[in-house]
A and B are shown apart, each in its own frame.
Chain A
Amino acid sequence: MKKDIVLCGVGGQGILTIAVLAVSAAVKEGLNFRQSEVHGMSQRGGSVECHVRLSDGPVYGDLVGRGRADILIAVEPLEALRYVEYLREGGIIISGTEPFKNIPDYPAVETVLEQLRKTGAKCHLIDAAGLAKQAGNSRAQNVVLAGAAAHFMGLEKELLLDAVRSMFGHKGQAVIDLNLKAFDSGFNAIN
């Protein structure tokens, strides 16, 4: 088992949460891993990326190389396009469809989604913001995408759900339930 995953989005969209859920489950499965994150200046509304490498063998480097990622998880579709070069042949894109428009020249969202489909990679475009809203809070779109990615990361769903419970444990049962619901709606969005 070996999965190289690149996560991306805009600073503040919670891509780190997805990564931490993945490695929390990985540590329970006894896998080796690296999870590299972005801090500092780029967090301020800029494009951010995070790399997760899981393996039952040794993991050496902290980063995924271009053309080597099995999965690209994007909270935001323009960011999915920005990091598509990381994907290996046959890799999978899981992207939210809700644009985050904090730049003046953001293209029409339909164009962005069309460009994603045209890359040739297997695309799962998910209305993560809509599903998160249905679950109770549109900010939980990252957890929706984690649910969708659960099909492909090679990690047990139950362990990921445990990770959701312990991550939001200090915020009370209502927040846990909301996030579990968000996770499941993402999981069910993949046929």
Chain B
Amino acid sequence: MDKLLLLGDEAVGRAAVDAGIGGAFGYPGTPSTEIFEYLQEHAALTHAFRADWAANEKVAVEEALGMSYAGKRAIVTMKSVGINVAADPFVCSAITGVNGGLVVVVADDPGMHSSQNEQDARYYADLARIPCFEPSDQQECYDMARAAFRISEENGMPVLLRLVTRIAHSRAPVSVSAPDAPRKDVNLPPADSLDWILLPAVARRRYPELLKRRAAFMNGRDPAVWNRIVKMPGAPAAKGIIACGTGANYMLDAFELLGVKADYLKINCYPVSPALIEEFIRGREEVLLLEDGYPYIEERLLGLVGRGPKIRGRLDGYTEATGELNPDRAALLLSKFLGGKAPSAAYAKPRIPERPPALCQGCPHTDTYKALKEALSTRQPGRVFGDIGCYTLGALPPHNGINACVEMGGSVGMAKGASDAGLKYSVGIIGDSTFGHSGITPLLGATAHNTPMTLIILDNSTTAMTGAQDSLATGDRLLNIVKGAGVASEHLRIITPLPAKHAENVKIIGEEMDYRGVSVIIARRECIQILGRKK
């Protein structure tokens, strides 16, 4: 069969299709979005499974767990920080266990290309005590995702698949294998089973079972396929490299580039058996770690200090403690560790101005920021708590429109907290999709106490930043949600962010900031990217 041209994300999507899933659940987030979009396209054509964006990542895991309970396979997709939102059901789903195979894909973003941190999902798999796969290339994305569904069912626990930006967003030829038959009917656990009811008495029984199954998995046949020691003839016996995920690729490129070699342990599956690591490091004086993310394996190896080899990596300053592993860093590290000369730039880059991302020409957010800025100019010391989306770019000149931005939905709670501290004028600014994701619950607290604060909801009718996915809280639906959350109708205002409406918008924003209670202003105008596509 011909190879397919797939992004790492799409390879995971294709694997889920071939695994015969009953449903895909997720919330958009770079670099994970294309997994779900691939699945959505497929579902629209074949109607073989459900693929609807969830309100947020927590809901996505819960929906997938429900599908798993009912006996069908399910996949959940999210970006790195999405797992923070989903952590509660994710960690607890390890205790309930699964019925239909459940695979949770987390696309990490080392180097923070499109994220607010570079957290490493391997720690979450560890926290939940479940298996984790970390592919090195797009073919492994497919193969590991296929294996993950089987392993999830064989071991009765969810499996985490960790991608990084470079794997997720790189295209390569991928071979696919024969599909599994999708399950037509629900296949429920017995009605009298207590396994899924996490009362303490049940959980106390389930947790040791989880640990037992985890150990059985670790020592079973699967990790042996994905974690292996490669000995290179003529390589120095005293040195070895442990390369995880993408690290293995950069290492192999650097071997070629520098004309060096070393024995290595390639790791793609967790937990890693201590016996395998012991076997690899025995007799070595120095071991270099290549991990694209936190020093996860490195930290575990340091427990051996004093009797084992020197561990070279992020923790001893051998390489930088932060940032993405890339070909430059890998070549530099390997030349330091094994010799050879790492290439440097042949032609120097002169000093040139930066070109940061910016709001599009004609973006409605620009008009809202202009009006807000003017309303604030006569109301000091006002502060604006921002949120996650295109409008975070309002932080940059010429807008300089926000003072903080932390995580999804954070604008609402922070505006309330600052107001509680005595800040007059406290403003939150959030997009419609982000409000649906996690802005509603903090608004409930603000209305319950009628906190003096103004929340501006930028309703551009889409999830624009990630490429215009459907929003669950837009238009009249959004209006009704805000009313239902307890915002008084006279302090729920709608503005149209357009240059022609500037004076009127400044006036409305100012009036609501002067009101000493909760007010919400919905700035309603469609994203111009979507408008462009409709033309």
Contacts of A20 in B (CB 8 A): 171
Nearest residue (CB) in B for A121 is: B347
What are 6 A-B pairs with beta-carbon distances under 8 A? A24-B5, A40-B465, A41-B393, A47-B354, A58-B252, A120-B347
A63, B357: Cβ atoms closer than 8 Å: no
CA–CA, A78 and B359, complex, Å: 20
B355, A103: Cβ atoms closer than 8 Å: yes
Q: Mark B164-194, 1 if CB is under 8 A from A, else 0.
A: 0011011111000000000000000000000
The interface size bin for chain A is 35 or more
Within 8 Å of chain B (Cβ to Cβ): is A187? Answer: no
B172, A33: Cβ atoms closer than 8 Å: yes
Contacts of B359 in A (CB 8 A): 44-45
Partner of A115, one of B3, B350, B353: B350
A39, B33: Cβ atoms closer than 8 Å: yes
Within 8 Å of chain B (Cβ to Cβ): is A169? Answer: no
Partner of A82, one of B169, B348, B352: B352
B357, A44: Cβ atoms closer than 8 Å: yes
Nearest residue (CB) in A for B397 is: A104
Contacts of B327 in A (CB 8 A): 61, 63-66, 68
B169, A39: Cβ atoms closer than 8 Å: yes
Nearest residue (CB) in A for B353 is: A105
B352, A67: Cβ atoms closer than 8 Å: no
A36, B3: Cβ atoms closer than 8 Å: no
Partner of B357, one of A42, A62, A65: A42
Known: A33-B173, A34-B170, A35-B172. A41 touches B347 (CB 8 A): no
8 Å CB contacts to B: which residues of A70-84?
78-79, 81-84
A46, B172: Cβ atoms closer than 8 Å: no
A81, B349: Cβ atoms closer than 8 Å: yes
B353, A103: Cβ atoms closer than 8 Å: yes
Residues of A participating in the B interface, judged by any CB pair closer than 8 Å: 10-11, 20, 23-24, 27, 32-47, 58-68, 78-79, 81-91, 102-103, 105-107, 112, 115, 119-121
Within 8 Å of chain A (Cβ to Cβ): is B356? Answer: yes
Contacts of B248 in A (CB 8 A): 60
Nearest residue (CB) in B for A112 is: B352
Known: A68-B343, A82-B352, A85-B347. A38 touches B169 (CB 8 A): yes
Known: A39-B33, A44-B393, A61-B327. A66 touches B352 (CB 8 A): no
A81, B350: Cβ atoms closer than 8 Å: yes
B5, A27: Cβ atoms closer than 8 Å: yes
A62, B355: Cβ atoms closer than 8 Å: no
The interface size bin for chain B is 35 or more
CA–CA, A97 and B393, complex, Å: 28
B343, A82: Cβ atoms closer than 8 Å: no
Q: A61-B250, A63-B326, A85-B345 are in contact. List 8 more A-B contacts (CB 8 A).
A: A10-B355, A27-B3, A27-B173, A33-B171, A44-B358, A61-B327, A78-B353, A82-B355
Contacts of A61 in B (CB 8 A): 246, 249-250, 252-253, 327, 330
B249, A60: Cβ atoms closer than 8 Å: yes
CA–CA, A62 and B358, complex, Å: 27
Known: A41-B30, A42-B113, A47-B355. A66 touches B328 (CB 8 A): yes
Contacts of A105 in B (CB 8 A): 353
Contacts of B252 in A (CB 8 A): 58, 60-61
Within 8 Å of chain A (Cβ to Cβ): is B378? Answer: no
Partner of A46, one of B170, B250, B253, B356: B356
B349, A85: Cβ atoms closer than 8 Å: yes
Contacts of B347 in A (CB 8 A): 84-85, 87, 91, 119-121
Within 8 Å of chain A (Cβ to Cβ): is B380? Answer: no
B172, A34: Cβ atoms closer than 8 Å: yes
B246, A46: Cβ atoms closer than 8 Å: no
Contacts of A84 in B (CB 8 A): 345, 347-349
Known: A61-B250, A62-B166. A107 touches B357 (CB 8 A): no
Q: Mark B459-495, 1 if CB is under 8 A from A, else 0.
A: 0000001110000000000000000000000000000
